[in-house]
Structure 1
Amino acid sequence: MLGLMPAALAADLSLQEAVNMALTQNTSLKVTQKGEDTADAALKKARGSNGVSVSASDTLSTSKSSDSDRQARNGAGVSASLPLYTGGQNQANIKKAELAADSARLLTDRSRENLKLSVIKAYYDALEAKKTVAVRQETVDKYQEHYTNVSQLYSAGAKARIDVIRSSVELSNARQNLIKAQNSYEVDLATLRNYLNINRTEPLNLTTDFSYDAFGIALDDCIAYAYTNRKDLRVDQYKVEQQEQAVKAAKAGYLPSVSLSLGLDNTNVFQPSSSSSQGASASVGLKWSIFDGGVTDAAVKTAQTEYEVAKLNLLKDKEDVDLAVRQAYYNMREAEKRLNSTQDAVHQAEEDAYIAREKYRAGEGLMLDIIDAQEALSTAQLNYISAQYDYARDKASVENAMGISLSPAEKEAAAKLSTDVAATLASSPIEQAGVAAGADTQPAATPAAVADELAGNEETK
């Protein structure tokens, strides 16, 4: 499966290039960033409610009374109003919308950090799967070599038939593991391509291998850093402040509102005679709800409850952050210890496997010795590979849980993300693949054809 595409055609891709590409092209990130536009529009609406509003009207009417002639008239007017005092409601709504806009940007930033972590994990998953394939392939080759050797010894009468059968079984099992490893590698590459939003069949050559980078920050310092820098915790704090403003807006229902109104009007009478008149008006109005059936009380209580819920959510999320940092940190330290202990085990297992094979060839060893030694070697190699990439992934998880921001180069890449829907659809690899399939001379299978095929398979069973 790995040899289906020539290596020369595979695009070289480093880990940093993968992260930057995802920050520039990921569709899910575009959806999240669209939330900033929604929040900005809500802020504009809140600010507009506290400014001057102008309206125009024009009416054409006719009337007839039993004791007078029919009258026809046209009236046009322009009016403007400005809220002078709303009990603090408009100001609270504006402040709440400003906090929402800031929260939307923080959520986008946090989504970028989470996307970076996802890409790092997918990249290392693919690298680990690739090395696992190499180990499984080596195991198959060793069992194939051993099977050939046993078959030759059996033909010469030096070994029993049972040794040939056991060698064949172990070779078959090794091939099964190889097939599974190859499939896992393809799945991991598909996951990585999805994050990068590139052609889903594009071959990739991952060039950044594991290198040990010691993490020297103490756990308590990691947690303290997370409390200060996690953007989702800052969003929670903003939500608390938003609900505090919501309480102020609700309590404004207890207070009067004052507004200024200005108007100009022009009236033209056509029947029974022609006449025209113009007028202007200015007024300051006060409105105070003395009794509203408890509506304001209910609104205040609701806002206060939501304010308390927001504070509890902030506390809960702090607890979750504390747990996330601890889990990632402990997992990283565990992988680090495994990394230091498994490297020597690989060398010892290689030596043990070599001795077992040579003893068997010399007629002094048992088949079981070779099988056990080869299994121990494969396990040691896979444990070492797993420890390497577990450490790399867990270290990235610790940094993400701490809320470490993107690097300047990554922020520059993220700034290139386009949220234009038309351009996104035009450049989408999925949409392009659909267009290409539609233009193919071989028509795609219809749903009816697929159903018929499934029905035929069922009849065959």
Structure 2
Amino acid sequence: MNSIQLTAISFLFITFTTVAQEEILSKQEAANLALENNFGIQVARNQVEIAENNQSVLNSGFLPSLTGTANANYQRDDNTFSFPGQFLSDPDTNEPLIDPDTGQAVPRPDVDLYKAEAQRYGTALNASYTLFDGLGRFYNYKRLKEQYRLSELQARETIENTMLQLFSVYFEVARLTENENVLRQALEISTDRIRRAEYSFEYGQNTKLDILNAQVDVTNDSINLLNTRQQLENTVRDLNVVLAEDLNKVYQVDTVVRFTPKMQLEDFISQADLNNVALLQTERNLAINEYDIKVDRSGYLPVVNLNGSYGWNLNQNAPGAFFPGVNVNNTRNFALGATLTWNLFDGGGTTVRVRNSKLAYENQELQKAQIKLEVKRDIENALAIYENRLNIYQIQEQNVITNKNNFERSKEQFQLGRITSIEFRQAQINLLNAQTNKNLAKYDAKLAELQLLQLTGQLLNVEL
């Protein structure tokens, strides 16, 4: 074997043994990271918080409204008042004054008002409260409560879907990690074959063809190992996306898989109608539609409003030609009132809305029946898929044992020279395929179980 091949194989061994020293990310730690960091889950939580704000008493309409107003006005005028045809009169006799020089009545002079200022100030508080609105406000408040519960279920559905996505990637990392270990062992066996073939050739026990066959197998095993390692690195980056972590962060994952006991699964399935998130959402939607009908019916009843106000106004008027002094008016007022509004006929709009709300409720009932049937079908299908994959996994486990025994016997026979290198390689490939197929079957079965747990509404309640 030339120096280039030796260097490449040594590099592979160094690269893949350093990975084993990395810290293991457990399933629970991965779930916690996703719950804390995943962007989709954070958005869902914000939606729940929005719904929580909407269902508070501050958004119910039960509280009164209070508004305050204030105003201030300033006005300045420069005026000249003329009195044509008017004359000054003697205050004692009330007769017109006569100018001694001209002998004519003295005309009334113009009056100039310069910088005549007027000021107005006012403040007011207005309160209003709806005492009765046909119970529409009450049922709308109940409706907002149901919408909050619905948003919680929608957030739960988002979390469940994210957990499925997380573990599909997590288990793919685990599968590729185990496959990497299997391929590394295959490469070690093939590398050992080269050394044995070279020793045997030196002592004249075989031909150069055995060395060439071993070198071909080393090359193939090295390429398979490199490809698997590349797939593993890509999948780890996919895992970091789900966890919202640095893309270059590297993990070793837990490859141990535990399956839920059969009796516990049967118990989960029997209670699926009470826990399935899709069915629970239909229940909340039904409640919302029922409140919609009651809210629309409130349009048949009257509305009673209470209102009150308190105000203060100050008017300081500018002096005039006839009122030379400043006129100040200071007033305060307080008022209470009540109004009753009854829309005796609104053109049939309320009737139409009530009818449509009833139809929407009927549609929601039909949708619930359909979803219930679909969920039952999906559970039965998921259970069948899970049981089938679990059986396949058990068969593959036995197949690995069989192929291990076959490989060990073939190895003994090959070392004794009773079988050819081609027959030995075939036994090695059979074992390699059995091990990788077992890894695939194990994680396929676990993912099928998680999908079944989600349908029964227990995905977030079991230990993974």
Q: TM-score, structure 2 length as denominator?
A: 0.74
What CA distance in whole angstroms lies between the structure 2 residues aligned with 1:212 and 1:41?
41
Q: Secondary structure at the match of 2:125?
A: strand
Equivalent residue for 1:91?
Answer: 138
How far apart are residue 130 of structure 1 and its match? 0.9
Equivalent residue for 2:173?
Answer: 126
Equivalent residue for 1:296?
Answer: 350
**Quick check: 1:10–1:204 contact (8 Å CA) kept in 2?**
yes
Equivalent residue for 2:441?
Answer: 387
Equivalent residue for 2:123?
Answer: 76
What CA distance in whole angstroms lies between the structure 2 residues aligned with 1:342 and 1:9?
29
Equivalent residue for 1:351?
Answer: 405
Q: Structure 2 regions of 5+ residues with no counterpart?
A: 1-11, 78-115, 319-326
Change (3 A) 1:16 1:288: same
How far apart are residue 291 of structure 1 and its match? 4.5
* 1:282 equivalent in alignment to 2:332: no
Change (3 A) 1:75 1:97: same
Q: Greater relative contact order: 1 or 2 (C-alpha under 8 angstroms, separation 6 or more)?
A: 1
Identity over aligned pairs, percent = 19
* 1:101 equivalent in alignment to 2:148: yes
* 1:263 equivalent in alignment to 2:263: no
Q: Secondary structure at the match of 1:216?
A: helix
Equivalent residue for 1:3?
Answer: 15
Q: Structure 1 regions of 5+ residues with no counterpart?
A: 411-461
How far apart are residue 103 of structure 1 and its match? 2.3
- Richer in helix (by share): 1
Q: Secondary structure at the match of 1:285?
A: strand
What CA distance in whole angstroms lies between the structure 2 residues aligned with 1:409 and 1:268?
75
Matches within 5 A, 1:302-317: 302-317=356-371
Equivalent residue for 1:57?
Answer: 69
| AA at the equivalent of 1:95 | K
The CA RMSD measured in Å over matched residues stands at 3.7
**Quick check: 1:36–1:105 contact (8 Å CA) kept in 2?**
yes
1:142 to 189, 205, 217: 189
Q: Secondary structure at the match of 1:403?
A: coil
Equivalent residue for 2:92?
Answer: none
Equivalent residue for 1:239?
Answer: 285
What CA distance in whole angstroms lies between the structure 2 residues aligned with 1:405 and 1:323?
18
| AA at the equivalent of 1:403 | G
**Quick check: 1:356–1:365 contact (8 Å CA) kept in 2?**
yes
How far apart are residue 232 of structure 1 and its match? 4.1
Equivalent residue for 2:257?
Answer: 210
How far apart are residue 109 of structure 1 and its match? 3.8
Equivalent residue for 1:439?
Answer: none
How far apart are residue 341 of structure 1 and its match? 2.0
C-alpha deviations, 1:262-302, integer Å up to 9, x for none?
12223333226321322222222122334445543444344
Equivalent residue for 2:54?
Answer: 42
| AA at the equivalent of 1:192 | L
Equivalent residue for 1:430?
Answer: none
What CA distance in whole angstroms lies between the structure 2 residues aligned with 1:12 and 1:362?
42
**Quick check: 1:46–1:94 contact (8 Å CA) kept in 2?**
no
Equivalent residue for 2:89?
Answer: none
How far apart are residue 157 of structure 1 and its match? 8.8
**Quick check: 2:150–2:284 contact (8 Å CA) kept in 1?**
yes
Q: Secondary structure at the match of 1:210?
A: coil
Change (3 A) 1:409 1:383: closer
| Structure of larger gyration radius | 2
| AA at the equivalent of 2:297 | K
**Aligned residue-pair number:** 404
Change (3 A) 1:112 1:76: same
| AA at the equivalent of 2:137 | N
